[in-house]
Every structure is written in structure tokens, then in C-alpha cells.
Amino acid sequence: MCGIVAYVGSKVARPILLEGLKRLEYRGYDSAGIAVLTGGKLHVARRVGRVANLQEAIEGQAAFDGSLGLCHTRWATHGGVTDFNAHPHTDDRHGIALVHNGIIENYAALKTYLQEKGHSFSSQTDTEVLVMLIGELYEGDLEKAVQAALREVTGAYAICVICEKEPGVLVCARKGSPLMVGIGSDNEYVVASDGAAIIAHTGRVVMLDDYNVVKMDAGGFRTTDIHNTPLSPRVQQLEIELEQIELGGFTHFMLKEIFEQPKSVRACISGRLDMREGRVVLGGLSSFAKELTKARRVVITAQGTALHAAMIGRYMLEDLAKIPTQTEYASEFRYRNPVIEENTVVIAVSQSGETADTLAALHEAKERGALALGVVNVVGSSIARETDAGVYLRVGPEIGVASTKAFIGQVTVLSLISMYMARKRFMSADQCLDLMKEMEAIPGKIERILEQAGRIKRITEKYVERENWLFLGRGYNYPTALEGALKLKEISYIHAEGMPAAEMKHGPIALINEGMPAVFIANRGRQYEKVMSNIQEVRSRGGHVIAVATEGDTEIAKHVQDVMYVPDVCEPLSPILTVVPLQLMAYYAAVARGHDVDKPRNLAKSVTVE
């Protein structure tokens, strides 16, 4: 997702804007730009590449020392990666500048209309069409022009707009893409697409809803909809702290977040395990306990890493709660004709709570009468607000693009939901208590795995030059294999394929050649002997096997090249442990190959447009 930061107040805007952009770099981008109103004139700079390039371009220029401005990091959708296509975009008549996240779907028709009106375009973007439309409708009131323009557009947007003719006025609006207004002292406002750009200045924010328009100036702020109907927004406190979004001595955010996972799981389960009663306490679901007990089917929808967590959740719900469950790519769910029967529960899983496809799938499910639950990390996010109920991860901000602690948080929460529903249906208090004790021990067991980081690094470096890897698992750890392969692909750019171990014989075994790394999740479980047979099949064809095995299993070392051990745990919870060595392998592979771990190419932290 692109990043937006805007400021209006009494301070010089430039350092606030650039600092905010740097805090949003983790989201992925290819260019950056800034517009500042100084002395009644608009000054704009745009550069391909990192924020540092933009900062260098305007260093020492007094023209950018005004107290009203906006800036942007762009991830190309419409138009190539060029200075001309970078934001902010300006109109050709009134000195209006705009930054935009989202996609204007009817931009082509609007562009034709504006060209007929005499407007001249310099970029290939849909965003320039929007700012020209605002300029065409401008009659001395920026707020009204923005409202009028947004009544004409179709698509998703989070925008901030300033104008030479109204110095001191900042207007922002949102539909489909996240945006929030940070409220400082003395009518100072910082607007951003992510709280990470705001928290250094204020913790008081207004989370904008769809079709909200906000006008800010020295007299305060007011919120309306696009039809100019006044609204009363709720001011809330940001749920993050500044130190949570800083490296704190680690080389990369991804490594920091891998090592934060014991703390993250502790936060996730805190107050949710009632050991005395042998039950899971999920306050977010309590109002719908009866509906969940009567559920006949569960659909879990997500994308990417969250979908792998959903697949594990499916295994648990069917295994523990005996509820028929399916997982769905959110991007496919909304575009077919899904069958939603009576007493169907749909669970949307998303770290950010803003994933466009997942949000759209959720809307489709609700429209068809499903009970909608959310499993998200970001408090107040779109999915959190639009579900009937849900459970927060509580793992803290995740800055690394390649998700680690959010994945473990998602699996943990889905475990809790499975236990919660199982206890209400078939599971005895003693059975539930046994699982809860296992869950309570998970953080300490992750810490034991992290103590092996040096050894995992050395194993990884043996294979890092190989361009094709396989990740294989069975049962609960088939999704773990998918997640391990995804992590390696995302940040090291090594081609990796995850699959069920038994599927290998049905075609992919043809890929195995001398020295090809094959990572097997081979912890002790119901299918351990089957996995061992699959290992032999790879070994006999020259593949080099790296096994994730259970502590104390010395026999496996005789059959593989390398072993990474995890503590013993009950099978349903095993993915929370077995994924950790795979996360570390991906990290060390990317570092060894010289890649920017926290800013992998072509990727954004959250995908908020289709």
C-alpha cells in the first residue's frame, strides 16, 4: 500500500512529512514526492526511488519550509515508475496538489471529459485525473470542490488536498483505503494512512469511515460526508507506542519481529485462558456464542500468509470442534457465486484489517446472510469495524513486509476460536484444559527455538546459492510448508514451492536433482512415518533434505543432511513452532544474498487495492 502523510499547523512541515514517509517505507513503494505551500506558492518535488532521494533533492531549499504540506510514497498501478507519475499531482489552473492511495475505476471517461474541457495531462495516472476534476469544479472552496469531485468518481481512495488559493487549509477524504487524522495541540493536524507516521506527534486520532471528508485549518476541523452532511467523528487513542516501530538494536524489523514472537503469543493469550473452568474466554465473540454453537459451516477467507494461517485454522475447527470448514482465496470468493447456507460463519483474516480482497469477500458474505467474524491485528481497521464480531491479535505493529509475528498471532487466535467453539459443542473441560496448558507453554518453546538462530543461519548458508527449493509437510504442517516457501520467495527471491509431502510423487518429484534443497516438516505426529518415507524418496534422487524435527529425535539425523529441532507440542499447535526455523531460514537467506529484507522488491505490506 502506498503511504500518505500531510500536515497543517504552526511548525515547518518538511521534517514532519519526511519523517512520516520514512516510517511508512516498510509498506513498499517505488517513488516519493512532496508538496509544500510556502509564501502562497505551491512547491513540488518528486523522485523515483527511496525517500532519501527526495530528501536530498529538497535539502536546504527554503521553498519547502512552509507549514502546510503533503507527501506520498507510490507503488505503481496506473503508469510506469517515473518522476512524472509520482505523487503529488497538481491541477493546471488553481495550484491544487493531491496525493492519493487507491484506484479511480472510471478515470478514462473522466479524463476524456476533462480533455474536452481543455485540461492538459502530463502523467499516465488515474490520480492526475482526480486532481484535474477537483480543479474543474473549484469555485473558491476547496472542501466543496473535493466533495463534488468525489460524487463523480468510482473506485477506492484516500486523498489529501491543498490549494494555493486557500493557504492554511488541508482537506482529506477516504473510501476503501485507510486514512486517519492525528489531532495535536493548538489546531495542529497530522494526517496519514498509517498510525506509524502519527504516533511521534500525537496519540489522539480520528479513523475516517468511507465517504468521510475532513477540512482542517487554524480554526479547527470539521467532518462531513461527500454530500456536505455534518458528521460527529469519534476521537480515539492509537494502540501503538513509538518504541514498537523502531528497530531497538536489531538489524532489520523482520528479525526483530521474529524474536518478538514469544512476547506476541503471551499478549495474544493473556486473559483468554480460564484454567479454573477449562474454557477459552473471547469477549469479542461472547454476544454471538449461541450462533457459533449452532454453526453448520465455517468459511475462512484471506490472502497470502493469512490464508496459510486460515488453512491451519480449518484443520483445527474440523479436528477439535467438528465443524465443516473451508478456506477461500478472498480474491476468488467474491467473483464466483459462493453458496452461503443458513448458520454459516465467515471469518476474515488480515493483519492490517484493510486487505482489499478480504474486505470485499467479507461484504459478499454478509450480503448473503453469513455471520461475519474478523481476525485482525490493527484496532479500528476496516475489517474490524465491518464484522459482526471478532478477535484482535494483540501482537503489536508489524513493520516487516514479510509477515512473521502476525502469522503466529493469526494461528494462535484461530486456535483459541477453535477451542472456544469446541468447548461449547463437544469438548470436555479436561480436554480443553490440556490444550490450554500446551498453549501456555508455547512462548517458552519459541524462545528455545530462537536460541538456535546461529545454527539455523549456518545451515541456510550451505544452500543459499541454490535457486529452486521444495518445502513439504503433511496434515497441520502442510500449510506451514506453504508459508515457509512463501517467506523464502518474498525476501530472498529464491524460487520455492510448498506442497503436501504426498503430492510430490504425483509430478513434482521430476524436479528433484542433485543437491536440490528439500525442507521437510518432520515433527513427531500421526503422519511421521509417512513423512520419513517421502524423505527417502527425495534422498534417493539426490536431493538434500533439511528437516524440522522434534527435540530428542536422533534417528532422523541419520536420514537427512541437516536438522533443525523444535520442542515437542501437541499436533494442532505444532505449526506455531515449526514455522519459526523457516522464518529464520528465509531471513538469513535474504541477508546472505544481499537483499533489502524489510523492503522486498515489488511487494507492499498490505494490499488495499485490487
Pair 329, 460 in one domain: no
To which H or E segment does residue 376 belong?
Answer: strand 371-376
Q: Is residue 374 part of a domain?
A: yes
Q: Give the residue from 450, 473, 492 where a domain finishes.
A: 450
Catalytic residue among 175, 215, 487, 605: 605
Q: Give the residue from 238, 268, 295 where a domain finishes.
A: 238
Annotated active-site residue 2? The verdict is: yes
- Quick: pLDDT tens for 225-252: 999 999 998 898 887 777 777 788 899 9
List Cβ neighbours of 32 (8 Å cut-off, separation of 6 or more).
21, 46, 47, 49, 50, 51, 53, 54, 71, 72, 73, 74, 86
Identify the band that residue 563 occupies on the pLDDT scale cut at 50, 70 and 90: very high
Identify the band that residue 606 occupies on the pLDDT scale cut at 50, 70 and 90: low
Pair 234, 282 in one domain: no
Domain of 430? Answer: 247-450
How far apart, in whole angstroms, are the C-alpha atoms of residue 153 and residue 126?
Answer: 11
Q: Looking at residues 578-593, what average pLDDT do you find? A: 97
Give per-residue burial for 294-311: e unless 16+ CB within 10 Å, then b: ebebbbbbbbbbbbbbbb
Per-residue pLDDT, 604: 65
User: Could you tell me whether strands 297-302 and 344-350 are parallel, antiparallel, or unpaired per DSSP bridges?
Assistant: parallel
Look at residue 241 and give its three-state secondary structure: coil
How far apart, in whole angstroms, are the C-alpha atoms of residue 180 and residue 204?
Answer: 10
Task: Calculate what percentage of the chain has a pLDDT beyond 70.
Answer: 98
Per-residue pLDDT, 285: 93
Q: Is residue 197 part of a domain?
A: yes
Q: Is residue 165 part of a domain?
A: yes
Cell of 67: 507549514
Pair 35, 160 in one domain: yes
Q: Looking at residues 391-417, what average pLDDT do you find? A: 94
Q: Is residue 529 part of a domain?
A: yes
Pair 213, 330 in one domain: no
Annotated active-site residue 163? The verdict is: no
Cell of 207: 479513523
How far apart, in whole angstroms, are the C-alpha atoms of residue 194 and residue 206?
Answer: 12
Specify the CATH number for the domain of residue 202: 3.60.20.10
Task: Reply yes or no on whether the pLDDT at 445 is more than 80.
Answer: yes
Identify the band that residue 502 occupies on the pLDDT scale cut at 50, 70 and 90: confident
Per-residue pLDDT, 186: 84
**Would you state the torsion angle of the CA atoms of residues 408, 411, 412, 413, taken in this order, to the nearest 10 degrees?**
120
- CA distances to 219, 470, 482, 594 from 584, in Å: 51, 16, 15, 15
Q: Looking at residues 589-606, what average pLDDT do you find? A: 84
Pair 69, 138 in one domain: yes
Per-residue pLDDT, 608: 56
Q: How many residues does the chain have?
A: 610
Task: Reply yes or no on whether the pLDDT at 89 is more than 90.
Answer: yes
- Quick: pLDDT tens for 510-548: 788 888 999 999 998 888 888 888 888 888 888 899 999
Q: Give the residue from 450, 474, 495 where a domain finishes.
A: 450
Catalytic residue among 2, 71, 160, 432: 2
List Cβ neighbours of 506 (8 Å cut-off, separation of 6 or more).
none
Pair 433, 538 in one domain: no
Q: Please name which of 45, 70, 73, 71 lies closest in space to residue 60, comparing C-alpha atoms.
A: 45
Per-residue pLDDT, 241: 75
Q: Is residue 263 part of a domain?
A: yes
Task: Calculate what percentage of the chain has a pLDDT beyond 90.
Answer: 73
Specify the CATH number for the domain of residue 429: 3.40.50.10490
Angle 447-453-459 from CA coordinates, rounded to 5° = 140
Per-residue pLDDT, 605: 62
Pair 503, 538 in one domain: yes
Q: Average pLDDT of the chain?
A: 92
Pair 279, 334 in one domain: yes
Pair 207, 299 in one domain: no
User: What's the total number of domains in the chain?
Assistant: 3
Which residues on neighbouring strands pair with residue 327, listed in sequence order? Answer: 300
Pair 416, 505 in one domain: no
**Is the distance from CB of 349 to CB of 408 less than 8 angstroms?**
no
- Quick: pLDDT tens for 414-431: 999 999 999 998 899 999
Task: Reply yes or no on whether the pLDDT at 609 is more than 60.
Answer: no
Q: Is residue 84 part of a domain?
A: yes
Task: Reply yes or no on whether the pLDDT at 78 is more than 90.
Answer: no
pTM (predicted TM-score): 0.83
Identify the band that residue 1 occupies on the pLDDT scale cut at 50, 70 and 90: low
Q: State the Rg of the chain over Cα.
A: 25
Pair 133, 187 in one domain: yes
Q: Is residue 126 part of a domain?
A: yes
Per-residue pLDDT, 219: 87
Q: Looking at residues 557-577, what average pLDDT do you find? A: 96
Per-residue pLDDT, 20: 92
Q: Is residue 494 part of a domain?
A: yes
Question: How many CA atoms are closer than 13 Å to the CA of 259, on its beta-carbon side?
Answer: 14
Pair 226, 363 in one domain: no
Residue 174 has φ and ψ, to the nearest 5°, of -145, 140
Sign for the CA dihedral angle at 346, 351, 354, 355 comes to: negative
